[in-house]
Every structure is written in structure tokens, then in C-alpha cells.
Amino acid sequence: MSTHREKLRIADLHAFYGESHILHGIDMHVMQGELVTLLGRNGSGRSTTLRAIMNMVGRRTGSININGTETIGLPAHKIAHLGLGYCPEERGIFSSLNVEENLLLPPPVRSDGMSVEELYEMFPNLYERRYSQGTRLSGGEQQMLALARILRSGANILLLDEITEGLAPVIVQKLGEVLVKLKERGLTILLVEQNFRFAAPIADRHYVMEHGHIVEEVQADELEAKTELLNTYLGV
Amino acid sequence: MATFLGINLFGLFGQLLVGLINGSFYALLSLGLAIIFGLLKIINFAQGAMYMLGAFAAWLALNYLGINYWAALVVVPLVVGLVGVLMERFLIRPIANEDHLYSLLLTFGFALMLQGLFTHMYGSSGLSYSIPEALSGGTKLPFMYLPDYRAWIICASVVVCGLTWWMIEKTKLGAYLRAGTENPQLMQAFGINVPLIVTLTFGFGVALAGLAGVMAAPIYSVTPDMGSNLLIVVFAIVVIGGMGSIGGAILTGLGMGVIEGLTKYFYPEASNTVIFLVMVIVLLLKPAGLFGKEA
Ligand SMILES: Nc1ncnc2c1ncn2[C@@H]1O[C@H](COP(=O)(O)OP(=O)(O)OP(=O)(O)O)[C@@H](O)[C@H]1O
Ligand SMILES: [Mg+2]
């Protein structure tokens, strides 16, 4: 039973790569079952925010509370076990593993992950190519694999970095359907997106980032009123 | 005397056997090096010293504790592996983020210390360890006499290398290892304790050298410098096979032993240099090694 409706709360988060100070005091939160996006131009610090949550940056300060647990002092390998699944921007499919090995790689972080059968049903391409080398898959298939493997681990807070980048419209549409399905199952999703048209219809809330700051928070129902503002931030 | 086209078959098969024996040790040692290099990206210069430690540990265990050869085959690799675990945890990990040159120098220094320690305590003349009773016989084959112990070494080495290969390439544990080699940071993000895997892997790689040391004790004299002599050749083999390639290390280890043996028969003057000659040729034609992935 989950008494923490708030799945993720970040306060005054700073992140550094060596000497470069990338995030300058991020404050944000994500509620259970919410789909929240991080929007912003290239280099605004969206990927770094996700990486900081996973403790994959050089150094980080502030507070990151996941499911009621403060994680700022936690070693990287303990963080996923709070129910987090991370899908990196570069997808991170392992070339020394075949598709099925990639799928089975992440250890379970919660008990009720999706079964391999269920995932193969959701992504039939992966089943057909389950013995191929992971990196031989097409970009879209690799993206599905990157998503499928964290669903199998049972993660119920997903951090997804630009999952639609460079993919054909049909695949983007398919990924959109999958995200809606996951949302219906009650999963919590923090989505970094460049493709605003993909994110707008499925997201509950948006944060806009610029130069390592959060400069705007937009509710789904304010989108229309704030279109102009968003356009200036995103430079579209 | 049996000859074929002017070739003395007894001599040829004899050298082939010696080559296979040497190759068995090359394979075990280079396999350990390759596993460690794959995950840690460091070259363990102490691998030869760990082989020496294994041989000495077998000798000490027999003479002071009455632990026989067969028990030593199990106990000594565990002990040497533990030395490796402690070494990784307390010597290598603290400097893991520095230039790899430091860990290379550190393992080299550690090897020299260990070698110095054993020279101080046991001299450099060598100790002898007798072949276990059960393997003291031999079989007469056409063109050669095959001592049981030598046959055992070849079989044991092939089985251990084969099992290790299977474990790394075909099991879940091996998938962690392969993936950790490729992208340790992402593995951490999936909730896998990569530092622990690194420590255990280092221990395992070193334990293979310890096992080779036990197997070597009855046929090579147990001396403090037995490892350093072998290590240079083993490095050449890892380079020929391709840094970090598991199958490559095994096959190249056995293969180079055989090539060395053949050279000893056909052109003995070159037998000490042939492996380095092969290394140069391979590096010129295929810089990543025979089984290495091109970057
Ligand atoms: N490993 C790193 N070392 C040093 N600086 C980095 C590193 N990774 C990212 N940066 C810098 O951090 C800033 C934010 O990068 P980040 O990847 O978070 O941007 P982003 O918003 O995800 O943009 P995009 O992915 O579209 O390029 C950039 O200025 C980038 O140059
Ligand atoms: Mg990014």
C-alpha cells in the first residue's frame, strides 16, 4: 500500500560535472500516476536532471526524495530499488548482449513487474528478434527494448529521456499509446521531450528548463493560454 | 626411429606436448588477465605473482598443513582469490579514478614485493613438489609417451577455461559482467552493485592464476620468479588475442603454446621470440588483436 502520493520531490538540486556547475537549484515534484514532462532547449539541463536523480553526475547537492526516502546520500546502485526505471537518452542497449539478455538484464526492483510474455505481446518486434545482438535492432526497436526492460523490472517511477528522438511517426505513435497504457496502470512518469506535439496530449504537467533552472511550470489545461510563452522558451 | 619426410616424429610430438602444456598455463593466465582487463580496464601486473603465490601456497599447504594436491586445487585458488579481493578493495579501488598508469604501477610494485618476500624467505633456488600418486603413471601412444600428469593439466585447463567461457558468455551472471564491461554506469542505474562485481571479478581472475600455480607446482620448479618469467609472454598473448576478449585469450593461449612448441622443434633458436614475432605481425595487421573488437 502506498501512502506517499508524492512519488518524487526535488528541492534545491545542484549538479556538477567536474568543475562545470550544470543544475542551479531545481525544485519540482511528481505525484503518483502523473505524467510530467521536462521541456527545454538543447543543453538546458533536462538529461542532467534525470541523471542527477539516478546519481549519475559527478556531484550533486540538495534533496531528492523518492517515495518518501531521501536519496541524496545513497549510492547509485541503491536508487533503482526504490522503484525507479531509467531510460537514457542514448538508449543504452548493450551490444555484448542479445535482445532477450538485454530485456532480462535489470534486476527486479519491485515484485510486480510485467512478464516477458506480456512485454513481447506489447512489442512483437522484440519477440521476433529476441536472439539478435541488441545493437542490431533498428532505432525504434532499441527504444522499445530500453522501455521494455525497465517495465520488466517492476519500476513504477519511470524517467524517460527523449524516447521519440529520431523515430518514425508510426513508432512515435506506438510509444504514445504505450505511455497512455502505463499511465492507466498507475505508473508515474517523468518524461524529457523535445517533441512537444507528442508530449502535449498525454502529459498532466510540464516544467520548462533553461540554463539549469526551472523557469516555468505549466498545467495541461493552461497550455493553450501559455502557447506563446512556451514558444519563446522552446524557440519553436 | 620413426621418421616421416625426414621429420623425427618422437621429437615433434614431444615438443607439441610441451607446447600444449605451456599453452594450458598461458590460457589460464591470460584468461584471468582478460577478465580483469575487461571489467576494470586495468592491466594486472601482479597476475604472475599470483601464479607464483598459488604454487608456493600449494607447497606450504602440503608441507606445513598436510593439505594434499587435490585439496590444494580447491583451497589455494580460494586463498589467492581472497588476496585478490583484498588487493582490489584496499589498493586498487582507492585509485580507481586516477589514470590507469597508477594502478598498473601499483600492481607491478605489489608483484615485486611479493616476489621479494618469497625470495627472502625461501631463496631463489626453487622448491620441489611431487606429482600426486594417482597421476604418476603414463600412457604409451604411437610416437610418444604421455605422462598422466601432463594429460591431466591439458584436460583440466581446457575444462576450467571452457567453464569460465560458458559462465561469462551464456549465464545471467556473465551478462552482468559483459554489460558491466560495456556500461558500468547504466548497470548501477539498474540497481546492480557494480563495485561488488568488480571486486569479485578481480578475485576470480586472480584465483585462476592461483589455480594455474597449483597445477604448475609438480612440473615446474617452485621459485619466486616463476611468475615474472611467464608474465611477459602472457601479456603478449593477451595482446595477440585482443584485449579483453575471453574466447580470444583462451584460444590464443593454447595456440601460442603449440606454435612455440613447433618452433622449438623446427627452429629452436627462435622459440623464445616466436610469440613476440607473432605479436608484432598481428599488431601490424589487426591492431585490436585476433579476436578483439575494432574500436
Ligand atoms: N558529461 C558531461 N560533462 C560536462 N558537461 C556536460 C556533460 N554532460 C552534459 N554536460 C553539459 O551540461 C549541460 C546540460 O546538458 P544536458 O545533457 O542536461 O542537456 P539537455 O537539456 O538534455 O539537452 P539535449 O539532450 O537536447 O542536448 C550542457 O551544457 C552540456 O554541455
Ligand atoms: Mg538531453
Residues A104-155 pLDDT 10s: 999 999 988 899 999 999 999 999 999 999 999 999 999 999 999 999 999 9
**Contact between chains at A105 and B191 (C-beta distance less than 8 A):** no
Q: What is the mean pLDDT of chain A?
A: 92
| Residue A82 pLDDT > 80 | yes
Chain A residues with CB under 8 Å of B190 CB are 80, 86, 105-107, 150, 153
Distance CA B145, CA B140 (A): 5
b/e sequence A200-234, b meaning 16+ C-beta within 10 Å: bebbbbbbbbbebbbebebebeeeeeeeeebeebe
Enumerate the β-bridge partners of residue B4.
Answer: B7
As to burial, measured by CB atoms within 10 angstroms (0-12 exposed, 13-18 middle, 19+ buried), residue B5 is exposed
* CB-proximal residues (5 Å) to ion ligand 2: A 47, 89
CA of A46, nearest ligand number: 1
ipTM given for this complex: 0.91
Considering the domain B8-285 in this protein, what is its CATH number? 1.10.3470
| Residue A1 pLDDT > 70 | no
**3-class DSSP state for residue B183?**
coil
Q: Rounded to whole angstroms, what are the CA distances from B274 to A62, B4, B224, B258, B261?
A: 60, 25, 25, 11, 10
Distance from CA of A78 to the nearest CA of B (A): 6
Cβ pair A36, A203 in contact under 8 A = yes
Q: Rounded to whole angstroms, what are the CA distances from B48 to B28, B35, B103, B112?
A: 11, 15, 16, 10
Q: What share of chain A in percent tops pLDDT 90?
A: 79
pLDDT digits (tens, 9 = 90+) for B24-54: 999 999 999 999 988 888 889 999 999 999 9
Q: Name the pairing type of β-strands A35-40 and A205-210.
A: parallel
Which residues of chain A form beta strands (DSSP E)? 6-17, 20-31, 35-40, 59-66, 69-70, 84-87, 157-161, 188-192, 205-210, 213-219
Q: What share of chain A in percent tops pLDDT 70?
A: 98
Neighbour tally for B262: CB within 10 Å: 16
pLDDT band at B1 (very low <50, low <70, confident <90, very high): low
Among the ranges given (A131-140, A217-226, B40-49, B254-263), the one the predictor scored with the smallest mean pLDDT: A217-226
Cβ pair A82, A69 in contact under 8 A = yes
Q: Tell me which residue has cell 613438489.
A: B129
Mutation site, A56, A69, A77, interface B, largest B CB count within 10 A: A77
Chain B residues with CB under 8 Å of A106 CB are 190-192
Distance CA B240, CA B253 (A): 9
| Residue A2 pLDDT > 50 | no
Nearby residues of A236 by Cβ (< 8 Å), 6 or more positions away: A196
CA dihedral for B56, B61, B63, B69, sign (positive or negative): negative
C-alpha cell at B284: 601490424
As to burial, measured by CB atoms within 10 angstroms (0-12 exposed, 13-18 middle, 19+ buried), residue B178 is buried
Identity of the residue in A77, A97, A109 whose CB atom sits nearest the CB atom of B175: A97
**DSSP assignment, residue B88?**
I
pLDDT band at B2 (very low <50, low <70, confident <90, very high): low
- What are the sequence ranges of the domains in chain B? 8-285
Among the atoms of ligand 1, which is closest to the Cα of residue A212?
Answer: 14
C-alpha cell at B165: 567461457
Q: How many CA atoms lie within 13 A of A100 on its CB side?
A: 13
Which residues of chain B form beta strands (DSSP E)? 3-4, 7-8, 138-141, 144-147
Nearby residues of B158 by Cβ (< 8 Å), 6 or more positions away: B24, B27, B254
**DSSP assignment, residue A62?**
E
pLDDT digits (tens, 9 = 90+) for B106-163: 999 999 999 999 999 998 888 889 898 888 888 888 878 888 899 999 999 999 999 9
Range B47-70 average pLDDT: 95
Q: What is the mean pLDDT of chain B?
A: 90
Nearest residue CA, atom 30 of ligand 1? A43
Which residues of B57-211 form beta strands (DSSP E)? 138-141, 144-147
C-alpha cell at B13: 610430438
H/E stretch holding B162: helix B148-170
